[in-house]
Amino acid sequence: MNLKIILLILSVFLLLFSISHIILWRSLLNSIKEKPNMSKGILSAAASCLSNLTMPRLSLGTLDINGPEKVRSAIHGALDLGYKRIDCAPVYFNENFIGDALQEYFSSENNNIQREDIFLTSKLACPFHRKEYVEPALRKTLSDLRTDYIDLVSVENNLSICETMPSKTYPFQSNLTFVLFEQYLIHWPVSFFPLPKELNKDIRGYRTEDIDDSDGGNNIDPSVSIHETWESMEALVQKGLVRQIGNIVLT
């Protein structure tokens, strides 16, 4: 069999594969439009893994959703559709807008969704991997996302995702006043030189995008190990600030 025939067969196969996926997705989207309850079921379907906690399988990604109006439209639209999980990060530079949009939605009389119904994920930015900056970075995120609760034992929280490193298990204490975040992840397993001036939680959001700038690798701090960062994140669980910790990119 010559090369032209082989290439022709591969081309036909790829074409059929693409068409079948297009048909499948169109069918799914049409079903969701015709059956709103079905869409809510799909979006609220939960997954479980190493621990016995659960999290919704599908989440709204918030990367590149910029500006308060776009964020508001995306968050409100997603919650209206039935999304229960929202993926955030300081380096998306919109957590303050997400916090405002969530608070506005929760305070509306036209919905029955409250904070305890939503699963929030955020991440630790690279300049804050040193142990003394891990907790202040989390508290900055909590301030931006306007997350502040009393006794949230009823929140349905998740396990760490499959790439997550195993964490110690701590008893979750009730009847305490604390702030809580469901899942907190190390965004990249490499540390930048610290930028403590950016951790002013009295200023919501970030003034610049310096926390996401490696300067071609010149800002990488080789003196900070992943173990130092991980142990500091485990302390967040112990304090009741976070239910689950993990790492996104670690091979």
Residue 101 has pLDDT above 90, yes or no: yes
- What would the pLDDT profile of 109-154 be if each residue is shown by its tens digit? 888 898 888 888 889 999 999 999 999 998 898 889 987 532 222 2
Q: Which residues fall within 8 angstroms of residue 48, CB to CB, at 6 or more apart?
A: 54, 159
- Whether 229 and 124 have beta carbons less than 8 Å apart is answered as yes
Give exposure, 119-136, as e/b (b: 16+ Cβ within 10 Å).
bbbbbbbbbbbbeebbbe
Measured CA to CA in angstroms, residue 216 lies from 195, 212, 220 at distances of: 17, 11, 9
Active site residue 92: yes
Domains of the chain: 47-247 (3.20.20.100)
**Which pTM value belongs to this model?**
0.70
How far apart (Å, rounded) are the C-alpha atoms in residues 138 and 69? 25
Catalytic residue among 83, 92, 184, 206: 92
pLDDT, average across residues 85-106: 93
Sign for the CA dihedral angle at 63, 66, 70, 73 comes to positive
Which range among 36-40, 142-146, 168-172, 237-241 shows the weakest confidence by mean pLDDT? 168-172
Give exposure, 13-27, as e/b (b: 16+ Cβ within 10 Å).
eeeeeeeeeeeeeee
- What would the pLDDT profile of 26-41 be if each residue is shown by its tens digit? 665 565 555 445 455 5
